[in-house]
């Protein structure tokens, strides 16, 4: 019973008593009026009470509904977030149940079974299985490299705490295959470079040792050794310069300074610098320029390309040969080629000549001063331009290098 309800009843009683004593109203009539007044007050209060209960119920229902809507919304947001992360991801709850994983994670499953998984009972591939097991139990940030089908991943687990209580963990797998590939390439590069440097160093060391002998007094050999030491030294210098050049040509860091330029101008200025050598070797240079359309290239870098291709054409062709420079347009492509009538390259070697330190005939290349870096420098520059280079060749007939640039 509310205070308001009681005070209404007291007020009616008081009014009735005043009515009886002061105004002398008929007691029967007074009692009748009192009963009616009490009835009205009781009915009104009961109705108000029912309305209030109904309102309270409605409010409670709304609150429950909004809380469940909220939870539903949050779950939906979490699912959207997890499925949109482009890396394999897994969530484990406080009891060790695997509550969620995204589509990217499917690659680590051994079978398509969808029964409830836990940190200890899961059908994931071995390395992943072990990591999930440890990650849940250790309750700490963990990191581990995992290999799967030639792909390399860095698995990272992060524990999740709610009010300082451990409530599971999140496990993420980052694809580090490209980084690994680069690491391998770097290792290979260092191994190849060291190998290349070792040969002239060993030759110089051997000759110096002989020259230093107390009993050495052969003047002719001394002169010959000094000439060879000078040559090996030059070779060392060439290798080091080539390596430096190559290290600057990393595709990810190489900055091109491009301009619209007639490619034949670059070719002509390169050919000009070889004029004397070609004259000495009786090499004929033919220019077959069918296009002078400007192309968007880094002229300095393209000069390195043409210089390398021209010097190879001269080096591997010999006296009396013909070198042809040709430019033409084909659709949205500008084509520039260098053809020689030299010794050619065997079909099985064609794919390898762009590799670093690859020389077809190592001894002959040594004699001609080749270190096997030129074409890999050419390839790096062409790649940086998003252009293409290809080679056609026939043994003892000649070789053509073709550069394709796109507008
Ligand atoms: P190198 O410094 O040995 O010339 P490159 O990378 O420029 O190194 O060339 C790799 C190999 O490709 C050379 O050793 C050579 O055997 C072959 N080669 C390149 N250009 C020609 C060519 N025009 N004719 C024949 N062989 C060539």
d(CA 307, CA 301): 10
Residue 239 clears pLDDT 60, i.e. is over it: yes
Q: 3-state class of 138 per DSSP?
A: helix
pLDDT at 360: 78
Pull the structure tokens for residue 13.
């009683």
pLDDT value at 190 more than 90: no
pLDDT at position 104, please?
Answer: 92
Report CA(206)–ligand 1 centroid distance (Å). Answer: 29
51 pLDDT band, cuts 50/70/90, is: confident
Q: Does residue 264's CB lie within 6 angstroms of at least one atom of ligand 1?
A: no
Mean pLDDT, residues 36-43? 78
Ligand 1 contact, 353 CB (< 6 A): yes
Question: Where residue 363 falls among pLDDT bands split at 50, 70, 90?
Answer: low
The closest of 34, 57, 54 to 46, measured between CA atoms, is: 54
**What one-character-per-residue DSSP string does 295-330 give?**
EEE-HHHHHHHHHHHHHHHHHTT-TT-EEEEEEEEE
Burial class of residue 323 (count of CB atoms within 10 Å of its CB; 0-12, 13-18, 19+): buried
Q: 21 pLDDT band (50/70/90 cuts)?
A: confident
Average pLDDT of the chain is 88
pLDDT value at 223 more than 80: yes
Of the listed ranges 13-17, 310-314, 396-400, the one predicted with least confidence: 13-17
Does any ligand 1 atom lie closer than 6 A to the CB of residue 289? no
Coil vs helix vs strand at 153: strand
Ligand 1 neighbour 382 (Cβ under 6 A): no
Distance from residue 353's CA to the centre of ligand 1 (Å) = 7
What is the per-residue pLDDT for 97?
94
Whether 128 has a pLDDT exceeding 90, the answer reads yes
What confidence tens digit (pLDDT) does each residue in 76-111 have? 888 888 888 999 999 999 999 999 999 999 999 887
Model confidence over 249-281: pLDDT tens digits?
A: 876 678 899 999 999 999 999 999 999 999 999
CA of 320 from ligand 1 middle (Å) equals 19
Question: What is the structure's pLDDT at 64?
Answer: 67
92 within ligand 1 shell (Cβ under 6 A): no
Nearest CA to ligand 1 atom 21: 312
- If you take atom 20 of ligand 1, which residue's CA is the nearest one? 312
pLDDT above 70: percentage of residues in the chain = 95
- Does the Cβ of 168 fall within 6 Å of ligand 1? no
Q: Which atom of ligand 1 is nearest to the CA of 317?
A: 24
Rounded to 5°, angle at Cα 233 from 269 and 245: 45
The b-or-e profile of 337-361 (16+ CB within 10 A means b, else e) is: bbbbbbbbbeeebeeebbebbbbbe
pLDDT at 367: 56
Beta bridge partners of 159: 169
Residue 298 has pLDDT above 90, yes or no: yes
Question: Whose Cα sits closest to atom 12 in ligand 1?
Answer: 353
pLDDT value for 66: 72
Residue located nearest, by CA, to atom 14 of ligand 1: 359
Residue 271: CB within 6 Å of ligand 1? Answer: no
Q: Is the pTM of this model over 0.75?
A: no
pLDDT at 192: 82
Indicate if ligand 1 lies below 6 Å from the C-beta of 339.
no
Tell me: pLDDT of 30 over 60: yes
* Structure-block tokens of residue 17: 């008593």
């Amino acid at each position: 019973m509310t205070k308001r309800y009681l005070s209404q009843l007291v007020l009616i009683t008081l009014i009735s008593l005043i009515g009886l004593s002061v105004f002398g109203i008929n007691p029967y009539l007074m009692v009748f009026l009192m009963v009616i007044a009490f009835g009205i007050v009781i009915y009104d209060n009961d109705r108000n009470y029912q309305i209030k209960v109904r309102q309270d119920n409605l409010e409670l229902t709304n609150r429950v509904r909004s809380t469940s809507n909220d939870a539903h919304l949050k779950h939906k947001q979490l699912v959207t977030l997890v499925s949109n992360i482009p890396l394999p991801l897994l969530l484990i709850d406080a009891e060790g149940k695997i509550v969620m994983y995204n589509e990217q994670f499917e690659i680590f499953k051994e079978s398509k079974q969808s029964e409830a998984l836990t940190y200890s009972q899961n059908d994931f591939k071995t390395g992943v299985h072990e990591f999930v097991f440890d990650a849940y139990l250790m309750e700490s940030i963990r990191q581990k490299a995992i290999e799967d089908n030639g792909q390399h991943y860095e698995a990272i687990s992060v524990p999740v705490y709610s009010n300082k209580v451990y409530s599971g963990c999140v496990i993420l797998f980052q694809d580090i295959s490209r980084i690994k590939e680069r690491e391998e390439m770097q290792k290979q590069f260092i191994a190849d470079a060291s190998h290349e440097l070792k040969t002239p160093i060993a030759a110089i060391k051997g000759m110096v040792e002989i020259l230093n002998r107390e009993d050495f007094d052969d003047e002719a050999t001394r002169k010959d050794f000094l000439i060879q030491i000078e040559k090996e030294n030059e070779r060392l210098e060439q290798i080091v310069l080539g390596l430096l050049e190559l290290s600057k040509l990393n595709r990810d860091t190489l900055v091109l300074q491009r301009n619209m330029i007639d490619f034949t101008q670059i070719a002509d200025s390169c050919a000009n610098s070889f004029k004397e050598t070609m004259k000495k070797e009786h090499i004929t240079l033919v220019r077959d320029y069918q296009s002078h359309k400007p192309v968007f290239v880094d002229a300095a870098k393209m000069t390195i390309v043409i210089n390398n291709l021209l010097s190879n054409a001269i080096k591997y062709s010999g006296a009396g040969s013909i070198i042809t420079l040709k430019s033409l347009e084909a659709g949205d492509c500008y084509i520039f080629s260098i053809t020689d009538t030299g010794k050619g390259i065997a079909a099985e070697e064609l794919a390898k000549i762009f590799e670093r330190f690859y020389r077809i005939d190592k001894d002959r290349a040594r004699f001609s001063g080749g270190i096997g870096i030129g074409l890999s420098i050419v390839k790096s520059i062409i790649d940086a331009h998003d252009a293409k280079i290809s080679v056609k060749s026939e043994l003892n007939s000649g070789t053509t290098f073709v550069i394709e640039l796109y507008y």
